[in-house]
Structure 1
Amino acid sequence: MGRRRTRAGTPATVALERAGVAFEVRAYEHDPGAESYGLEAAAALGVDPARVLKTLLVEADGGLAVGIVPVDTLLDLKALAAALGVKRAVMAQPADAERATGYVVGGISPIGQRRRLPTVLDSSALEHPTVLVSGGRRGLDLELSPEDLLALVDGTSAPVARRG
């Protein structure tokens, strides 16, 4: 997997190119009626849902933070709060998430956000040589190593996913 320039031109691809990180663009035809953007991406790209990650924003002690978990799991808010060292975390309002990241819901990438937010990657992602995250718009995913992802977002890893 090498660095591939793309015309997608999202803040995420620009950040990856600037950092010199190896990544692959994985585009697919997005269905606006899809119930789960992440599961849609996994199916369209033929990738195990455990490797396709969703980026979720939470409000934690008055500030925003990011939890990244596999698309076939749920974010464990108590575990995320503990990983962040705060008392409580609740899901952020979609408008707040969009305003803070510069991305639309369903296409929020953990990479290239407007502001660097505290970020926790579910530790299961480290079991895979590569993972996929949103590239900054619906129908565009980026494949990269989980270690590179953590370095780019200056994040930590912890078990923050749970099965539904």
Structure 2
Amino acid sequence: VDGIIKGGGTGCFGVSTLWTHIHPTSEMYIHQYLFETPVDNYNTHLYLVNLRNFLLDPSDNERIMGRNLAVATQDRDVLSVVHPMLTPESNIHEFFVGPDEPIAKYREFLKGWEARGWRIDVDKVEHDSKRVAYAIPSPARREKKGWILQSVPLLPGAVEKKQAATK
């Protein structure tokens, strides 16, 4: 039905935070924030923060949570049969249509992070998984040395690749 949703939008902040704003009417708002935490290359924990300015009585919470769970379960069921399971390194063998534009834009966004050298070397992490515990790199690791855990290995960024090519 046209005009049911009066406004809203969706977007991302960083590589693992998604926001969605749904405004069913000019007075009713639903704002959702989804935080993703990778477990490994194939599994992700999801944490949803759902905010609304209507149906605020505690007796409404169970129904709202049930609706959120139903949507998440539908998404999970669709994604569980997607092939390939992992995003391809390039999209030259994919065909995107208009509604796929957010996916294409997000992947371009990720390429910017990869160019900075911020992509985890998943093959190395998986190879070492039974022998090594890694820590996620942070700015503090650049400032202080002597950390007990090694930083998770990263793939070379554009600068490192360019330097390697000129050697």
Bigger Rg over Cα: 2
| TM-score, scaled relative to structure 2 | 0.22
| TM-score, scaled relative to structure 1 | 0.23
Q: Which structure has more strand as a fraction of its residues?
A: 1
Higher relative contact order, structure no. (Cα contacts within 8 Å, ≥ 6 residues apart): 1
